[in-house]
Structures are given as structure tokens and as C-alpha cells.
Amino acid sequence: MKSLIKPKEELKSLPLTESELIKRAKEGNDEAFEMLISRYEKKIYNLAYRFLNNEEDAAEVLQETLIRAYRFLKKFEERSSFYTWLYRIAVNVALRKLKKRAKENKVVSLDEGIPQYEEIPQEIPDESQNPEIIYERKQIQETVQKALAELPEAYRSVVFLRDVEGLSNKEVADILKISVSAVKSRLHRGRLFLREKLKHLIKT
Amino acid sequence: MRKKKIEYNCEVFKKYLVEYLDEELPSEILIELEKHRLVCRECTRLIRTIRRIIYELRSLAQYELPENVVAKVHAALRIKKWKRR
């Protein structure tokens, strides 16, 4: 029988669309699956990190998410984007881990294992060379990270998906399996919570 | 029965905050909220603060995905694939 798996070099040289990669991965082409997930690994890791606030748990969530995606890929009917589907798996894995951790009553410091960040994009070019502004921006970013980590879980997932990731209300509702009005309500409360936490820092 | 006229105060403004920021409101509500905002320093400040928070959240730096994590995860995935064959 002729193998469906194409030689590595051939697959890499083809400009494959996401749906072509999904099709090949479903047919059992592992390289296509790896190419597919490589687009989202960092995003999933970031999502897990924001949910769990430590590197080790984030790595475990990433691993579990990818294994589940591999196992259930054939059930993915492409009614949503692959990204949304993968996110939903990751959110579920992360939430389960959070619940398990709550049960174990494992106390995790919010500062625990803070990793190296990439360079913060300079979005305000006029101020970018001013050391005071750079210091202030760094302070703000660190405080926002911390405030986000302190948000109650129900709000944190919504605020993260909407305001950090920039997904729509509908996409967030689909991922978390809640109504759009619940997304809006949690987003509202979450933002007000952050406002309280950051009021000393953000002067308007 | 006459429909009760809504008074567009701070409470109502807060209620519509998400839709206001998403620019999803019908014009008749938006106009009333804007009228309130023009005279309310508190709501003006609220909008500015929330916009600034959203801006900060959107510009949060991404965590680096450590190489050793990638290697570990891929190795675990390969073992799972192998076991399924």
C-alpha cells in the first residue's frame, strides 16, 4: 500500500494552509501535526502561564494540551478555527489543574519563577529613549502582570482571552462554554477589579 | 402605560461600559451615554482608566517558551504517538 506520509523535505517545501495541515494530520501525518501545533505552542504556554502563574505547571498544561489535541484531532470537525479548538482544550486542562491545585491547597507565590520576558514592544516612540519613562513602563507592566495573576479565576480567563489575546466576546464564550452575556459581565467585573488594583499606578 | 424614561446616570453608564468600549451600542443609547459623560468627571475618568488598562494588557510581553520545555513536550508527544502505533 502506498504510504500517505510524504517525505519530510517535500512537506516542508510546500506552502500548506492550516486546513491542509489538519487534513494531513488527520490522515496520520505526524509531521503535519507538528507543523500545525508549532504555530500555537507559545500562545498555549502563555495562556497556561497566565492561568497558573508558574513555569512548571504551564509546561505541563502545554504538554497535556498537545497530547489531547493529537488524540482527539480526528474528532475536530472544523466548525471553529483550529486555534479556538486548541484553546478550548488548553483552557480546560488549565482549569482542571487549577482546581486540583486548590484541592491540594498548594500555596504558590505570585512572584514564583517569573521568567525572562521578551523585549517589551516600544509603542510610544517619542518616549522610548527616556530612562524614566522606560522605568515607569516596566513598573506598570510588572504590576499589571501581578494584578492579572491576582484576579479571581472566573474573571482572569475572560480578561486574558479578551484583553490580552484580543479575542471577540463570541470566541471567548465558545472557548469557555458560557454565554456572551456572561463573558461581558465577567469582563466588566474583572476590569473593575484591575482598576482597583492599579489605581495607585495609572493616573488619568 | 407610558414607558419609564431611563435616567442616564453613572450606574447606567457602568452597566453599558463593555458595549460602550466595544462600540456596540445603538446610537440612541450611545448619544445619551455621551451626554452623561460630558458632564460627569467620574465616568470620563473611568473610561480613560479602563482604556489604559486594556492598552497595558494588550502590550503585555509574552513569556518566552523555554527550549527545554519544547524539547520535553515534543519528546512526551513522540512517546504517546509511538505507544498508539
Digit-coded pLDDT (tens) for B35-77:
999 999 999 999 999 999 999 999 888 889 999 998 888 888 8
Residue A121 has pLDDT above 60, yes or no: no
The model's pTM: 0.73
Decide if A151 touches B, using CB distance below 8 A. no
Q: In chain A, which ranges are continuous DSSP H helix?
A: 8-13, 18-26, 30-38, 41-52, 55-72, 82-104, 131-150, 153-159, 169-176, 180-198
The reported pLDDT for the residue numbered A12 is 59
Nearest CA in chain A to B54: A163
DSSP assignment, residue A161?
A: I
Nearest to B49 among A42, A115, A204 (CB): A204
Number of domains in chain A: 1
β-sheet bridge partners, residue B63: A117
Q: Does a structural domain hold residue A102?
A: no
- Residue B45 belongs to what H/E stretch? helix B41-58
- Asked whether the beta carbons of residue A141 and residue B46 sit closer than 8 angstroms, the reply is no
The pair phi, psi for residue A139, each rounded to 5°, is -60, -45
Domain range enclosing A173: 128-204
Q: Does a structural domain hold residue A84?
A: no
Residue A116 has pLDDT above 50, yes or no: no
Kindly report, residue by residue over A167-191, the tens digit of the pLDDT.
999 989 988 889 999 999 999 999 9
- Asked whether the beta carbons of residue B81 and residue A115 sit closer than 8 angstroms, the reply is no
* Cα distance between residue A121 and residue A137, in whole Å: 11
CA angle A17, A40, A143 (to 5 degrees): 145
With contact defined as beta carbons under 8 Å apart, do A24 and A32 qualify? yes
Q: Does a structural domain hold residue A196?
A: yes
- Asked whether the beta carbons of residue A163 and residue B53 sit closer than 8 angstroms, the reply is yes
The pair phi, psi for residue A119, each rounded to 5°, is -60, 135
Decide if A167 touches B, using CB distance below 8 A. no
Q: Does a structural domain hold residue A98?
A: no
Average pLDDT over residues B10-32: 95
* Cα distance between residue B61 and residue A77, in whole Å: 33
Place of cell 443609547: B29
| Reported confidence tier of residue A114, pLDDT bands at 50, 70, 90 | very low
Please identify among residues 78-107 of chain A the ones whose CB lies closer than 8 Å to any CB of chain B. Answer: none
The reported pLDDT for the residue numbered B43 is 95
Residue A126 has pLDDT above 70, yes or no: no
Here the CATH number for the domain that contains residue A168 is 1.10.10.10
The alpha carbon of residue A119 is apart from the nearest alpha carbon of chain B, in Å, by 7
Q: Does a structural domain hold residue A184?
A: yes
Average pLDDT over residues A82-111: 78
Residue A96 has pLDDT above 60, yes or no: yes
The alpha carbon of residue B51 is apart from the nearest alpha carbon of chain A, in Å, by 10
Q: Higher-confidence residue: A95 or B49?
A: B49
The alpha carbon of residue A117 is apart from the nearest alpha carbon of chain B, in Å, by 5
Q: Does a structural domain hold residue A161?
A: yes
* Cα distance between residue B2 and residue A201, in whole Å: 47
| Reported confidence tier of residue A204, pLDDT bands at 50, 70, 90 | low
Nearest CA in chain B to A114: B63
Please identify among residues 9-68 of chain A the ones whose CB lies closer than 8 Å to any CB of chain B. Answer: 30, 34, 41-42, 45-46, 49, 55, 58-59, 62-63, 66-67
Residue A120 has pLDDT above 60, yes or no: no
Q: Does a structural domain hold residue A43?
A: no
Kindly report, residue by residue over A13-64, the tens digit of the pLDDT.
566 889 999 999 999 898 899 999 999 999 999 999 988 888 999 999 999 9
Mean pLDDT lowest among A66-75, A96-105, A144-153: A96-105
Q: Which residues of B touch A45 (CB under 8 A)?
A: 63, 65, 69
Q: Does a structural domain hold residue A107?
A: no
Q: Which residues of A touch B69 (CB under 8 A)?
A: 45, 55, 58-59, 62
Residue B4 has pLDDT above 60, yes or no: yes
